[in-house]
Amino acid sequence: MSTSLPRSTARLKTLLSGYYQDLGAAAKDPSRKVAWCTSAGPVEVLAAMGFSVYFPENHGALLGARRLATNLIAKSNARGYSPDICSYLTADIGAYLSGQTPLSAAYGLEAPPKPDVLVYNTSQCREVQDWFAFYGREYGVPVLGIYSPWKVETPLPREAVSDVAGQLKRLSEELAPIAGKKLDFDRLASVVRCSAQATAHWKGFLETARRRPSPITFFDATIHMAPIVVMRGRQEAVDYYRELLDEAQGLVKAASAAVPGERLRFYWEGMPNWGKLRFFSDLFSELKICAVASTYGHSWAFEGLDPERPFETLAEANLRVFINRGEVYKEAYLKKMVKDYGIDAIVFHEAKTCPYNTNSRFGLPQRLQERHGIASVTIYGDLCDLRCFSEEQTRTQIEALTEQLAPLPRRAG
């Protein structure tokens, strides 16, 4: 995929290379501790306690993007992990069972760093618990979890916030003997401050897409989001996103269009299809469609993190994440995004192996159409398993929607 952000794309490679090489060094150094963590957190608590933090979901996405996942999934299936469950999980466990990792070619790591502890959070799904339990058995290390109440509406229930905040505090106590030290509250405040700044810059970057024509696309967001997941809480992430925002604002000033001749503006709802991003990017460019925003990208635009109230505001951010919200909230959120970004239609990606981040199965597209006149299409695929996806069928669906919204001029003759 071409990028309209060359400066940041070059910096991204260096940043991620440094992150992974440091993880490799941490895994070999007995004085350092490695924690594996889920994408929505609680990375801030782990980072504040001195853990080097690795994210298996990012590894799953990499396996998908490199199109290695489909073959690896079969290895997990043979160990009893169903082809119907999360393909990040089955691809990642398949890679472990095969002794393969794209981290070798990309960053020179022999293998993902061996964990000293695994920490999950069920705010996104139940899969992560079973995924980490597998590695807990394999490596013989503790597996700890935060259990978040699901489907919360607005306002956030106070009892849910204090429940999760209490679990985060208890987690820090359980981690202390593994880390070899107690949580330093000044350090936690500083990590939360960095997370707040990095996520604010990330949000600012995504919001440059409000401009018409948009200077960036959803595909740019998928390229530049890795540090907001894996390096949240670090000063390097703050610096990276400040410069990314600066580069995108430069494009706004120059009236640059990510899709020259932008005719339609789409919203991507659901997981990316990592192995087919180029297909979608090319198809949308050909039809002069700019995918300007996505639930996925905005899921890391946390708001309200406060270094003075770290546990409470981390709990709130954790509960507020879209995947964890009720249907009333989701409908209102999508309606607002359509208005704010001048969206012509929503593409709902029904990901076969991720029902949690699929929002087309319980009538939401129909309610958005009937109550708010919002057009949409539901396409079928997966985050990693390419067997679930048909290019021909998807192209036909997107072309039909485009034709209905804004027919392309017919060629003469």
Q: One-letter amino acid identity for 149?
A: P
Using the minimum distance from each CB to ligand SF4, give the nearer residue, 85 or 200: 85
Query: Binding mask 183-202 vs ligand SF4 (x if CB under 6 A, - otherwise)?
Result: --------------------
Rounded to whole angstroms, the Cα distance separating 178 from 36 reads: 13
209 class by beta-carbon count within 10 Å (0-12 exposed, 13-18 middle, 19+ buried): buried
Using the minimum distance from each CB to ligand SF4, give the nearer residue, 84 or 173: 84
Of 356, 395, 397, 406, which one interacts with ligand SF4 (CB under 6 A)? 356
Rounded to whole angstroms, the Cα distance separating 270 from 301 reads: 16
Residue 230 binding ligand SF4, by CB under 6 A: no
Rounded to whole angstroms, the Cα distance separating 15 from 244 reads: 13
Q: Looking at 122-130, 150-158, 261-269, 388-396, which segment touches ligand SF4 (CB under 6 A)? A: 122-130
Smallest CA-to-CA distance from 271 within 296, 293, 290 is with 296
Task: DSSP letter for 142, please.
Answer: -
Q: One-letter amino acid identity for 270?
A: G
List, in sequence order, the alpha helices (H) in 87-184.
Answer: 87-98, 102-107, 127-139, 158-179
243 class by beta-carbon count within 10 Å (0-12 exposed, 13-18 middle, 19+ buried): middle
Counts of helices then strands in the chain (DSSP H, E): 18, 8
Using the minimum distance from each CB to ligand SF4, give the nearer residue, 92 or 247: 92
At closest approach, how far in Å is the CB of 107 from ligand SF4? 22
79 class by beta-carbon count within 10 Å (0-12 exposed, 13-18 middle, 19+ buried): exposed
Using the minimum distance from each CB to ligand SF4, give the nearer residue, 11 or 320: 320
Of 37, 48, 54, 57, which one interacts with ligand SF4 (CB under 6 A)? 57
Of 19, 20, 88, 300, which one interacts with ligand SF4 (CB under 6 A)? 88
Q: Looking at 120-128, 274-282, 288-296, 397-405, which segment touches ligand SF4 (CB under 6 A)? A: 120-128
List, in sequence order, the alpha helices (H) in 180-234.
Answer: 185-207, 218-224, 226-230
Question: By the 8 A CB rule, do 266 and 294 touch?
Answer: no
Prior bond to 102 cis, omega within 30? no
Q: Looking at 9-17, 188-196, 221-229, 350-358, which segment touches ligand SF4 (CB under 6 A)? A: 350-358
Q: Looking at 119-127, 139-147, 172-180, 275-283, which segment touches ligand SF4 (CB under 6 A)? A: 119-127
Beta carbons within 10 angstroms of residue 160's beta carbon: 18
Residue 125 binding ligand SF4, by CB under 6 A: yes
Tokens at 389, concatenated: 């996806």
Q: How many chain residues interact with ligand SF4 (CB under 6 A)?
A: 12
Rounded to whole angstroms, the Cα distance separating 222 from 274 reads: 9
Of 44, 127, 269, 316, which one interacts with ligand SF4 (CB under 6 A)? 127
| Residues 6+ positions from 224 with CB-CB distance below 8 Å | 5, 8, 9, 12, 205, 244
Residue 383 binding ligand SF4, by CB under 6 A: yes
Using the minimum distance from each CB to ligand SF4, give the nearer residue, 219 or 296: 296
Q: One-letter amino acid identity for 1?
A: M
Residue 146 binding ligand SF4, by CB under 6 A: no
Using the minimum distance from each CB to ligand SF4, give the nearer residue, 124 or 394: 124
Residue 116 binding ligand SF4, by CB under 6 A: no
Using the minimum distance from each CB to ligand SF4, give the nearer residue, 344 or 385: 385
Of 216, 354, 364, 386, which one interacts with ligand SF4 (CB under 6 A)? 354
Residue 86 binding ligand SF4, by CB under 6 A: yes
Q: DSSP letters along 345-384, please?
A: EEEEEEETT-STT--SSSSHHHHHHHHH--EEEEEEE-SS
Residue 314 binding ligand SF4, by CB under 6 A: no
At closest approach, how far in Å is the CB of 88 from ligand SF4? 5
Of 95, 117, 128, 317, which one interacts with ligand SF4 (CB under 6 A)? 128
**What pairs with residue 265 in β-bridges?**
290
At closest approach, how far in Å is the CB of 134 from ligand SF4? 13
Segment 240-269, which members bind ligand SF4 (CB under 6 A)? none
Of 101, 357, 378, 394, which one interacts with ligand SF4 (CB under 6 A)? 357
Residue 124 binding ligand SF4, by CB under 6 A: yes
What is the binding site for ligand SF4 (CB under 6 A)?
A: 57, 86, 88, 124-125, 127-128, 271, 354, 356-357, 383
